[in-house]
Structure 1
């Protein structure tokens, strides 16, 4: 897919460009980002260049990761990196993807991540035909969970040993978002479990 640009009241979301390498490098010096994500630690300029100039463009090209750099409209400051991943499941009948993100330390607490993620979720439902979005984070990642909850994700529980992190396996919180959670029409009929009336 050709990269797309999304805009919100305060932000614009676009594919990362080589000029963004230094901003990504600076953001990922925050120890909280590698603590809770798969970002390497220590994070070097080579890591940033590979992510910005190879991995992100390749993800758009081969439909494996639609990654956006999120920037303020006022100053062009990097706010976060946000992506739809596990895109191999976009094809029918599965039609689902996973939302992932990290946010620059200095930009947290302003509602930017929720604002950007809401735009990405709506784009996924309305333009890509996604029928279910998933989110997961290592159990204990309260910041990521707070964003997911504000977006309307329904927490579905804990998956044991889901996250492989620094040579260990860790539990993950898991949630899901459906189009109807955002007031959008369902892409396919949904038959929730009813113990009195099992689905055919």
Structure 2
């Protein structure tokens, strides 16, 4: 297995179906941060559904259409990032992230998102990275802003989640902006 350092005591690692027990335990700890905003998190409610979530991302990885990674702090899974969608043919992908309380306030999400943006735009040569968030999720919006993304627009009542229609903001950074230093480049 490989790991990408994010900080002295933190790293980014792949999440795979065989890690379903650890992933489910982490999701239980993260529910307060994830359930209001992330539809797949509300569906990862037992070991079987957690395994299905990871298997879905393993299938996407095999098809080069998505991936999921864990953020580990001192060896413990405390959050993650993913390519929700990854379309090499059109040159567009979407990145998402989540964390539990123990992973907050350390810059780990920002460091991991920077790695994914750099991978997509520089290494893989995609044209644009998108970030979608519920308008009510100020922490998610702040990540997009820290990455130097531009607010492309808000889709009114776009997602029905937990019985409530939520407005969704779309943010993006283009490859030329990222390379020119307009986005938040890795340091």
Any gaps of 5 or more consecutive residues in structure 1?
186-200
- Distance, in Å, in 2 between the alignment partners of 1:152 and 1:4 is 28
SS at match of 2:79: strand
Q: CA deviation at 1:115?
A: 0.6
Aligned-partner Cα distance in 2 for 1:4–1:42: 25
User: Do structure 1's residue 12 and structure 2's residue 11 form an aligned pair?
Assistant: yes
Which structure has greater helix proportion?
2
Q: Supply the distance in 1 between the matched residues of 2:118 and 2:95 (Cα, whole angstroms).
A: 12
Structure 1: distance between partners of 2:115 and 2:97: 13
Kept in 2, the 8 Å contact 1:15–1:57? The answer is no
TM-score by length of 1: 0.78
Deviations 1:7-51 (A, max 9, x none): 334433222135632332233222331111112257222222222
Question: Which one has a bigger Cα radius of gyration?
Answer: 1
C-alpha contact 1:21 1:48 (8 A) present in aligned 2: yes
Q: Does 1:128 align with 2:128?
A: no
1:151 is aligned to 2:147: yes
2:117 partner SS: helix
Residue matched to 2:66: 65
* Structure 2 equivalent of residue 90 of structure 1: 88
Structure 2: gaps (5+ residues): 182-187
Q: Which 4+ stretches in 1 moved above 4 angstroms? A: none
Partners of 2:44 and 2:72 lie apart in 1 by: 24
TM-score after normalising by structure 2 = 0.83
Query: Is the CA contact 1:34–1:41 (under 8 Å) kept in the aligned structure 2?
Result: no
**How many residues get paired?**
178
